[in-house]
Amino acid sequence: MRFQTELVPARLTRRYKRFLADCVLEAGGQEVTAHCANPGSMMGLAEPGTRIWLEPNDDPKKKLKYGWRLVEHASGHFTGVDTGVPNKALKAALEARALSPFAGYSTVRPEVRYGTGSRIDFLLSAPGLPDVYVEVKSVTLSRKPGLAEFPDSVTARGTKHLQELAEVAQSDARAVMLYLVQRTDAARFTIAADIDTAYAAAFRAARAAGVETLCYGTDITPQGVDIADPLQVEI
């Protein structure tokens, strides 16, 4: 998935009201406010002075002319902070049949209603194969070197999704919980049970009910984000 416009580097001043970030552009020192498309806590990613990458836009319908897309760590690694990116990257990969667990599926439908007032991120179908319900979560938290974790804050919505996937798994369809790790410094993944005990319990119950768990890493640069190799899942 390529970014629509060339990203520009900046330094974060502060993130506030969840969806706003004040920044200083590296080129020229202009102070701007960027849209932060991430409702989570962004633990470890929003410290003042952090080098970040913004995507400019000239859309007259948008009040903010920049969107916060990446964090660049001192190590040179990147973290993608836009929670909309995983769905875009996964859609491209599914349509290209680039992921082996879904390579046999020819039809990819996003945002299909299911459960109780919910929409599944992707519903996959193909003649002679069971339908696949795929829920996607963006993973950005890392508190130990090489280990990515989800969630970074309490998520009642995420717990509800797991419960609904568990119901799907009891039918003739496949149910898949797919975690996309938007960090280039992670090789393993686990559930942050200490942050959200209810989510951890729902995760265990969903797996017991037959929900499949997949986790993929990403290749991230200021040019774009692509799905990379599977990561080890530690339960």
Q: What tokens does 197 get? A: 């005990």
Give the separation between CA 164 and CA 175, rounded to whole angstroms. Answer: 9
Q: ∠ CA 22-28-32 to the nearest 5 degrees?
A: 20
CB proximity list for 100: less than 8 A, separation 6 or greater: none
pTM summary value: 0.95
Domains of the chain: 8-80 (2.40.50.580), 85-233 (3.40.1350.60)
| Matching residue, tokens 């951890």 | 200
Q: What is the pLDDT along the chain (235 residues), one digit of tens a residue?
A: 999 999 999 999 999 999 999 999 999 999 999 999 999 999 999 999 999 999 999 888 889 999 999 999 999 999 999 999 999 999 999 999 999 999 999 999 999 999 888 999 999 999 999 999 999 999 999 999 999 999 999 999 999 999 999 999 999 999 999 999 999 999 999 999 999 999 999 999 999 999 999 999 999 999 999 999 999 999 8
